[in-house]
Amino acid sequence: MSALGEKINQWWQLLVAFREKQIRKREEQIYHPFWVMVYKEIADHVRSWRFLIMGALILLTCMGSLYTAVQAMTSQSDQAASATSPGFFFLQLFTSSNGTLPPFHAFVAFLGPLLGISLGFDAINSEQHGRTLARLMAQPIHRDDIINAKFVAALVVISVMFFALTFLVMGTGLLVIGIPPTPGEFLRVMCYFLITVIYVAFWLNLSILFSVLFRQAATSALTSIAVWLFFTVFFQIILNLISSAIVPSPDMAPADQVIRAQHLVMNLSRLSPGQLFSDITTVLLRPTIRTFRPLTLSQVVGAIPNPLPLGQSLLIVWPQITGLVAVTTVCFALSYVSFMRREIR
Amino acid sequence: MLAYVFYPIGILWMMMSGLKADTVAKATDTIHTRATIRLYTPYTKISVHPGQSITYNVDVTNNSKVTQNVDLWVTGLSPAWNYSLKSGSWDIRQIAVLPGQKESVTLQVTVPLRINKGAYRFYLHAGNGTTLPLTVIVAERGIYKTAFTTDQPNLEGAANSTFTFNTTLQNATADTQLYALNAEVPPGWDLAFKANGYKQVASILVNPNSTQNLTIEVHPPDQVPAGKYRIPVIASSGSTGAELDLEVVITGNYGMSLSTPSGLLSTDVTAGSEKSLKLTVTNTGSASLKKIQFSATTPTNWDVTFDPKTIDELPAGKTAEVKALIKSDKHAIAGDYLVTIRANTTETSAKADFRVTVKTPVLWGWLGILIILVALGSIYYLFRKYGRR
C-alpha cells in the first residue's frame, strides 16, 4: 500500500517538475510583439462578458436545434431518409428539424454574424477612446501589427468556438444516432466549418472597418447591426418588391422569359453575403442538390437522382465561395488601409 | 300334298322303329323348308379393313302355310373370325317364323386384325336347304401391331423456336395397350409428349384397334449449332411397340451482347464536352448477324455517334469493336445521367445502360481561385505599402 502511495507521489513530483519547467520556458521565451498582442487580445475576448454571453447563446440554441434534429430523425427516420438522401444520416444532424426550432445551420447563419460583430465593433475606437492606442504606439511595434493582431485574435476565438461546436454536434450525434460519419460526410462537415469561419470573419472585418471609421464604439456597433439587419430582413423585402415588378406571371409570359427574370432576381439576392453563405451550406450539407439554376425538364430527363461527390458540390457553389472570400478580403483590406492612413493622435 | 300322303306312313314307321322316326321327320322338314324359307340381306359383298366389324341385317321369310322353326348357323369362317347371331337382344341359334311373315336377325362378323388381303366367303344357313352366301373383301393386310405415324416428320426453324409434331399412335392389336413414350434427344434438348388437350404425358393407354393423337413438342437448347437432328421417338408396351423418326433442322440462333472491353458500364464527361467510349459487340448466337445498327437513348440535347455506324456482318462467336462518341449537353447539371446504347439487327438486339457522371467545367473554378488570389495579392500589396511604418 505504502509502496503504491510512494509510486504515485513519485509520479506527481515528476508531473509538477515538468509543469514548472514548461512555465519557466514560456516565461523565458521571447515572443514576437505581434503574437504577444494576439495572446493578449484572445485573453481579453475570452474573459469579456459579451463573448461569454454570445457564446452561451450560440451554444444553447445549437444544442436545442441538435436536440430537435435528433428527435426528428429518431421519430421519422424512414421518412427523413427517403425524403432527403439515403445514407447521409450524419449531415441531417445539421439540417433536419422537427419544426419547433430552426435547424443547426440556420441558427449559425443567424447568430454567427452577431458574434463577429460583437468581437470587432470596438476593436480600434475603444483603444482610441481609452487613450491606450497612443500608449501602444509608443511601444516598439509596427503599426499594422495592431490591426492584424486584433483581426487574428478574433478569428482564432471564432475558429476555436465553431470548431468546438461542430465537434460537439458530431460527438453528440454519434452518441445518439450511433452511426459514424463516412469520410465524405466528415469532409463536408469540415468544409462547412471553414465556410462558417469565413462568413463570421466577414462580419468581423466589417465591424472592424466601422470601428476604424467611427470614433464612437456605439456608432460602429449600431452601424454594423444596421447592415446586418438590412441584409437579413430588409434586403429580402426589397428583393420581393423587385421580383414582383420584373418577373412576369407564368400564365401570361413565355417560360424562358420567366426563367430569365427569376434568374436575375436570384443573382440579385446573391449580393447579400447571407444568401451566399446559405447557398454554400445548403449544397455542402445536402449532397443531392445538383444545381441552383431553375431546372428545365430537358435537364432532368435521364438524370439519376443520386448524391454528388464533394468536389462536384464545391464546384457548384464555387462562385459563392469565391464571392464570400473576396468580400471578406476586401473588407479587411479597407479597414487595413483606413487604419494605416489614419491620424491616430 | 305329298307331305300329307307320306305323313301317316311316317308315323307308322316311327312307331315301328323309334330311332329312325326322327330322321324321317327331319327329312320331311327339309323337303318343306327348301322352298318355303328365304334369307335376305341387301349387302352381300362388303369391303372392310382388318379389325372392323360388319353388321348384316338378315330377313328370314316363311313362305309356307305353317309356322316354321328354322335353325341358323354359319359356315366358311375360320376360327379367327368372330361372329354372333342376334335378334331382339338375344343370342340365337334357332328362330320361329309365322306363315307368311318375316323375322329380322342381325349377324355381326368381326374381321380379325391379323389377316391377309383378299376375298373371304362364308355362308349363313337356315334350316336344311337355304343358304345365304356372303363375301367380305379385306382391302388391306392386317398387321396386328402398333403404328406410330405422322404427316410431317421434318420441321425447320431457329434454335429458340419450338417444334411441334402432330403424330398418331394406332393400336391395331386385340388388346388394350399401355405405351411408354420415350425419345432419344441430344443432351440439353427438351421434348414433351402431350395428349388429350395438351396434358403432358409419359405413357398412354390406347384401346384395341383405336388411335390416339399425340403432340410432340421439341425445344432445342438456345446455343445449339445449325444442322439436321434426328430424334427417334419410341412408343413401347410389353408386347408391341413402334418407332418414329422425327427430324429437326436448326437454321441457327441469334444472340448478341453489348458491353465494353473492361465490362465497366460507367464513364464521366464534363458538361458540354465529348467522351469517346469503346464498345464491344459479341455475336453470342450460332448464326452470323447481318447489318448491326447502333442507336442510343440519351438525355435531352445529348448526342451519341458511332464509328462505324453499322457492322455489315458479324460471324458467330466473333466480337467487333465500335467507338461511341458521347456528347453531353452544355446545360447538363452535375451528377449522374443514364445513357442507353442499343445494337439492333432484324433478328435480335442487345442493350447496355451506361451511367454517365457529368462534371462541371473547372474553368470557372480556376477563375474563382484567380479572383481569390487577386484579393489576397492586394492585401499583400497593402502590407508592403503601408506596413512597417
Q: Let me know if residue B189 belongs to a domain.
A: yes
Residue A277, all three cell numbers: 453563405
Higher pLDDT, A134 or B200: B200
CB contact under 8 A, B372 and A291: no
Q: Let me know if residue B4 belongs to a domain.
A: no
A175 touches B at CB < 8 Å? no
Q: Are residues B182 and B200 in the same domain?
A: yes
Nearest CB to A306 within list B336, B360, B378: B336
Comparing CA positions, the residue from A281, A228, A236, A273 lying closest to residue A118 is A228
Q: Measured between CA atoms, how close is B284 to chain A, in angstroms?
A: 29
Q: Which pLDDT score is estimated for A324? A: 92
Quote the percentage of chain A above a pLDDT of 90.
30
Residue B316, all three cell numbers: 458467330
Q: Which residue of B has its CA nearest to A327?
A: B375
Q: Which pLDDT score is estimated for B180? A: 92
B372 touches A at CB < 8 Å? yes
Phi/psi for A131 (5° steps) reads: 60, 30
* Digit-coded pLDDT (tens) for B339-377: 999 999 888 889 999 988 888 878 777 888 888 899 889
What is the residue extent of each domain of chain A? 30-295+305-340
Q: Are residues B239 and B316 in the same domain?
A: no
Residue B119, all three cell numbers: 376375298
Q: Let me know if residue B203 belongs to a domain.
A: yes
- Contacts of residue B303, Cβ cutoff 8 Å, sequence gap at least 6: B326, B327
* Digit-coded pLDDT (tens) for B186-223: 888 999 999 887 789 999 998 888 888 999 999 988 77
> Is a pLDDT exceeding 80 seen at residue B75?
yes
Residues of B in contact with A322 (CB under 8 A): 367-369, 371-372
Q: Are residues B177 and B260 in the same domain?
A: no
Distance of CA A70 to the CA centre of its chain: 22
Q: Are residues B201 and B222 in the same domain?
A: yes
Q: What is the 3-state secondary structure (H, E, C) of B289-328?
A: EEEEEEEEECCCCCEEEEECCEEEEECCCCEEEEEEEEEC
Q: Are residues B111 and B159 in the same domain?
A: no
Q: Which pLDDT score is estimated for A344? A: 66
Q: Are residues B287 and B345 in the same domain?
A: yes
Residues of B in contact with A312 (CB under 8 A): 334-335, 359-360
Q: Are residues B308 and B355 in the same domain?
A: yes
Average pLDDT of the segment spanning A252-265: 82
Helix then strand count (H, E) for chain A reads: 17, 1
Residues of A in contact with B368 (CB under 8 A): 318-319, 321-322
Q: Are residues B166 and B260 in the same domain?
A: no
Quote the percentage of chain B above a pLDDT of 90.
21
> Is a pLDDT exceeding 50 seen at residue B95?
yes
pTM of the model: 0.65
Among A89-103, A147-161, A203-217, B175-189, where is mean pLDDT lowest? Answer: A89-103
Q: Which pLDDT score is estimated for A78? A: 53
> Is a pLDDT exceeding 90 seen at residue A343?
no
CA atoms within 13 A on the CB side of A15: 6
Q: Let me know if residue B364 belongs to a domain.
A: no
Q: Which pLDDT score is estimated for B173? A: 81
Q: Are residues B118 and B174 in the same domain?
A: no
Confidence of residue B290 (pLDDT cuts 50, 70, 90): confident
Residues of B in contact with A336 (CB under 8 A): 379, 382-383, 386
Residue B117, all three cell numbers: 388381303
Strand B303-307 and strand B349-359: pairing? unpaired
Q: Which pLDDT score is estimated for B30? A: 45
A344 touches B at CB < 8 Å? no
Give B42's DSSP letter: S
- Contacts of residue B361, Cβ cutoff 8 Å, sequence gap at least 6: B270, B271, B272, B273
The CB density around residue A86, as the number of other CB atoms within 10 Å, is 12
Residues of A in contact with B328 (CB under 8 A): none
Q: Which pLDDT score is estimated for B167? A: 92
Rg of chain B over Cα atoms, rounded to whole angstroms, equals 47
Distance in angstroms between the alpha carbons of the first and the last residue of chain B: 182
Q: Which pLDDT score is estimated for A206? A: 94
Average pLDDT of the segment spanning A64-87: 66
Task: Please answer whether residues A137 and A127 qualify as being in contact, where contact means their C-beta atoms are separated by less than 8 angstroms.
Answer: no
Nearest CB to B376 within list A295, A329, A336: A329
- Number of domain units in chain B: 3
Q: Are residues B155 and B216 in the same domain?
A: yes
Average pLDDT of the segment spanning B130-142: 86
What is the rounded distance in angstroms from the CA atom of residue B317 to the CA atom of residue A82? 45
Show the domain range for B114: 42-141
CATH number of the domain that B179 lies in? 2.60.40.10
Q: Which of B141, B175, B201 is the last residue of a domain?
A: B141
Q: Let me know if residue B20 belongs to a domain.
A: no
> Is a pLDDT exceeding 50 seen at residue B16?
no
Average pLDDT of the segment spanning B75-101: 88
Q: Which of B141, B166, B194 is the last residue of a domain?
A: B141
Q: Which of A198, A208, A308 to mutate to test the interface with B (most CBs of B within 10 A)?
A: A308
Q: Strand, helix or coil at A86?
A: coil
Average pLDDT of the segment spanning A16-45: 85
Q: Let me know if residue B136 belongs to a domain.
A: yes
> Is a pLDDT exceeding 50 seen at residue B25?
no
CATH number of the domain that B48 lies in? 2.60.40.2310
Give the position of cell 475576448. A45
Residue B98, all three cell numbers: 309365322
Q: Let me know if residue B294 belongs to a domain.
A: yes
Distances (CA, A) of B25 to A342, A345, B28, B35: 174, 180, 5, 17
Phi/psi for B99 (5° steps) reads: -60, 130
Q: Let me know if residue B389 belongs to a domain.
A: no
